Amino acid sequence: MGARRPNPALHHLAAALRGIHSEPHLPHDTNAEGIRNIGIIAHVDAGKTTTTERMLYHSGRIRHIGNVDHGDTMTDFLPLERERGITIQSAAISFLWPPKALCSPGQEPKTINLIDTPGHQDFRYEVDRCLPILDGAVCILDSVKGVETHTERVWRSAHLSKIPRLIFVNKLDRDGASFKRSVLEAATRLRTLPLLCQIPWWNKDEFVGVVDVVDQVGMKFSSSSGSMSLVSAEHMAKEHPDLRAEMKEARQHLVETLSEHDDALMEEFLELEDGVSSASIKRSIRRLILDGEGKFAPVFAGASLRNIGVQPLLDAVIDYLPNPTDRPELEVISGSKSLTIRTLLEQNKKKGSSQTPIVSLAHVFKVVDDPRRGMMSFARVYHGTLGRNSHMWNSNMHGYEKAQHILHVSANDFQEIQHLNTGHIGAMTGLKTARTGDTLITFPGNQGQTAPEAFRNVRIKATETPPAVAFISIEPYSRTAEEKLEEALKKLTREDPSIRWNTDEKSGQLIVSGMGLLHLEIAKDRLMGHYKIDKDMYIWGEIEVEYSECLLAPTAPHRNIYDRTLRDKVGKAACTVSIDPLQAHHHETILESSIERDGNIIHISIPLPRDSSVSRLPFEPEVVRQQLLNGAIAGLARGPRRNAPVRRCHVDITFDPETDFFGQASTGGHITNAALHAVRDALKEAHAQGNVGILEPFANVQIECPEESSNSIQHDLVSARGGQIMEVRKPDDEFSVDSGIDVSKLYVPADPYDSVASMRGPKKGVVRMLQIVGKAPLKEMMKYDSQLRSMTGGRHSLQLDPGPFELVTGPREKALDSGRV
């Protein structure tokens, strides 16, 4: 073997025999430059949790490698996760890399805060709410299956949050694995230019290691211990000349590609040609991916289950992904304006305001009900230092809270600390009302009495909760059972805002809505397991599709005056509401005072007093705006035709201070109820005129099946299921996707066999496969896998992804009204 290279980034990798473990203590005072907040994103079963487990082991965070199949992984710690072998909740864990014992002189380990996210589509909101708090992400591809549909979806979500990404091509040890196909699919389907930083090392057709293209070194791994031996370029030239030539060609293509897009590297390339340094290449890659646009993606190779390639992947996280200070400044919403926190503070200072400046600002991205600690609020600090004794203003709930404890998070293991600095992620216990998406602010010297007016409504934009597509009805046998279930549902929806519940006014049943069949099955299991809900005390309905209602024509303005006693308080408030079917121009001309929620746009107008002598409104406009919004959301929650949620509406609410506000008599509850009843009145009138339609959730369907079964499946989807066929293609046709990238010009080394199908075993009869791409009503697809099994003899794969809500017409609408569907 060749000598160990001097590059400190891989110094620890030469410690091949393992046994070296870092101390479990994790410094929470690390400067922001020494932090990497990263997420693991991918399709279900691509190897996210397995890769995370290896990262923890090689960093010394754990001494035993857990296995998903054995149910003993550190990040999948919920009983349901271990039972089903899937990730349900995102898990946060912190560790050091490289371990302190293996750092070069003068080198300090970095703190990696890692989020392992679910891969199943039903838990996509769990991914979406974690992405904005990340500074970088590792996207894992299954090299047998390539880029799958949910991979595309989470990639798009990361793009919306402008998160720099790496690609890790996993499972290269499996039959049918193809590094080349995976890279080309990444180019076409993810629309990114792959930057090959590693290529696989094959011994005939066995995957034994990876070749570092940038540093020109080979890495062979022991699948049992995860140890690694380095092979220098000189030794490779003697013992593996073909591999050395492949590595040289790969590096040449990488440098040329970078030079085309990075002027700094172009100058060095023109001067030195083959002598471009590894450090320059790494700086160039970092510059190109830092904007988070996803135009470029460094690519790495491995097989996590066999401990191949995980350590160099951790090096890549340190080398290429940004720290919190590298990211664009955080934008906050102040009233109806969006601006950076620095601009907000500077504006307040320029005004000569004596208002207290913000000391710390944090975003709650997750809430978990822990059996030992109660409700835990996971947060990232974006500004200042959040102390344990701080009184925190919740600008969403308009109230103060105080944490009992602040904890460093390591999956289900926690270490108590006194504070969280900028860029850090931690958990707090004892918060009474904080929900996912809330913003917490602290002020110096403030003991929780009042919040400074200038910062009272400052919020970090939260991820929009997608509409529910399925529901289950629960009927309690007694009032006591009902109260216990309601209390459990309040906690469950604080944990997971994509679960909603309400009481059906007609039947008295509790209706729990969610994102799909699996999502609601997990929710039901959690209610019975974690919250100890006795299933024998309730009548549980079947999980059914959640239909929606929509408006087919505009309504006339409806003014409602709410003049009733609420909670022993006499009060009065009014507002005027008009509702239109949502059109494309509503999205194009959306105003700052408009809010998108559950497929609707709600515009709230509060005109200034016509009397020019009145300089300001007699109430806090943002508070009233929130109260009106709450009323409109409640009014749209159940429509007049099927008691189903109302979607695709543009709601215009006007609250005139001169005619709708009645001084001290206009309490928050009265304002909210005025909006609620005005919306309901408008919808009832529309229904009486026949202007309320039914919307049905569709699923985007991708079926891979034998060619001989294709015609019968297509016929069944269209004629029996009410679906549509978009495309029928061979799996190889995916490279024809118009991504703007010419794959013929991409360099990717050949796989050790010619076809995607494995050539390692004896040849059997080859089955020609086709892919059917289409869409169909979700109700028809929820149990379609068993139907496909009988049509294909089990030789198929079915992928469902959330589709749009579509208007139900014709015979299917009549069947819905008669209860036959």
pLDDT in tens, 122-171: 566 777 778 888 999 999 999 998 888 778 888 988 898 899 999 999 99
Select the CATH number that applies to the domain covering 331-460 from these four: 3.40.1180.10, 3.10.450.40, 2.40.30.10, 3.40.50.1000.
2.40.30.10
Asked if the model's pLDDT at residue 78 lies above 60, the reply is no
Residue spans of alpha helices (H) in 196-277: 233-239, 241-261, 263-272
* Banded pLDDT at 356 (limits 50, 70, 90): low
Confirm whether 470-545 and 695-751+764-818 share one CATH topology. Answer: yes
Residues 251-305: tens digit of each pLDDT: 999 999 999 999 999 988 888 777 889 999 999 999 999 999 999 999 999 999 9
Asked if the model's pLDDT at residue 734 lies above 80, the reply is no
* Banded pLDDT at 215 (limits 50, 70, 90): very high
Chain position carrying tokens 């034998």: 706
Chain position carrying tokens 């002020």: 443
Three-state secondary structure of 720-774 = HCCCEEEEEECHHHHHHCCCCCCHHHCCCCCCCCCCCCCCCCCCCCCCCEEEEEE
Task: Give residue 354's pLDDT.
Answer: 60
Does the domain at 21-326 match CATH 3.40.50.620? Answer given as: no
Task: Give residue 616's pLDDT.
Answer: 76
Task: Give residue 29's pLDDT.
Answer: 60
* Banded pLDDT at 2 (limits 50, 70, 90): very low
Q: What is the mean pLDDT of residues 344-365?
A: 78
* Percent of the chain with pLDDT strictly greater than 70: 84
Does the domain at 695-751+764-818 match CATH 3.40.50.300? Answer given as: no
Task: Give residue 74's pLDDT.
Answer: 47
**Other C-beta atoms lying within 10 Å of the C-beta of residue 616:** 8
What six digits make up the tokens of 636?
A: 């749209």
- Residues 760 and 751: their CA atoms lie apart, in Å, by 12
Tell which wins on pLDDT, 639 or 57: 639
Asked if the model's pLDDT at residue 699 lies above 70, the reply is yes
Q: What angle do CA 396, 398, 400 make, to 5 degrees?
A: 110
- State which of 110-124, 267-281, 476-490, 508-522 shows the largest mean pLDDT: 476-490
Asked if the model's pLDDT at residue 214 lies above 80, the reply is yes
Asked if the model's pLDDT at residue 505 lies above 70, the reply is yes
Query: Could you tell me if 741 and 193 are in contact, meaning their C-beta atoms sit under 8 angstroms apart?
Result: yes
Q: Which of 21-25, 158-162, 270-274, 595-599 has the lowest mean pLDDT?
A: 21-25
* Percent of the chain with pLDDT strictly greater than 90: 39
Break the chain into its structural domains and give their ranges. 21-326, 331-460, 470-545, 553-690, 695-751+764-818
Task: Give residue 732's pLDDT.
Answer: 56
- Residues 493 and 410: their CA atoms lie apart, in Å, by 24
Q: What is the mean pLDDT of residues 609-616?
A: 68
Task: Give residue 90's pLDDT.
Answer: 61
* Banded pLDDT at 589 (limits 50, 70, 90): low
Select the CATH number that applies to the domain covering 470-545 from these four: 3.30.70.870, 3.40.50.1370, 1.10.1240.10, 3.40.50.2000.
3.30.70.870
Peptide bond before residue 164 is cis, with ω within 30 degrees of 0: no
* Banded pLDDT at 7 (limits 50, 70, 90): very low
Task: Give residue 588's pLDDT.
Answer: 66
Residues 6+ positions from 301 with CB-CB distance below 8 Å: 168, 169, 172, 179, 198, 199, 200, 210, 309
- Residues 202 and 212: their CA atoms lie apart, in Å, by 14
* Banded pLDDT at 758 (limits 50, 70, 90): very low
Q: Which of 300-309, 553-562, 604-613 has the lowest mean pLDDT?
A: 604-613
Strand ranges in 190-309 using DSSP code E only, listed in sequence order: 193-196, 198-203, 206-212, 217-221, 228-232, 296-301
Closest CA to 117 of 126, 109, 108, 106: 126
Residues 368-397: tens digit of each pLDDT: 888 888 888 989 999 989 988 888 999 888
Does the domain at 553-690 match CATH 1.20.1250.20? Answer given as: no
Task: Give residue 295's pLDDT.
Answer: 94
Asked if the model's pLDDT at residue 764 lies above 70, the reply is no
Task: Name the pairing type of β-strands 548-551 and 646-647.
Answer: parallel
Residues 640-649: tens digit of each pLDDT: 998 889 999 9
Task: Give residue 550's pLDDT.
Answer: 95
- Residues 308 and 171: their CA atoms lie apart, in Å, by 9
What six digits make up the tokens of 474?
A: 């629960």
Q: Which of 73-77, 673-677, 701-705, 732-736 has the lowest mean pLDDT?
A: 73-77
Give how far the C-alpha of residue 329 lies from the chain's centroid of Cα atoms, to the nearest Å.
21
Task: Give residue 65's pLDDT.
Answer: 67
- Residues 51 and 38: their CA atoms lie apart, in Å, by 13
Tell which wins on pLDDT, 680 or 809: 680
Task: Give residue 814's pLDDT.
Answer: 83
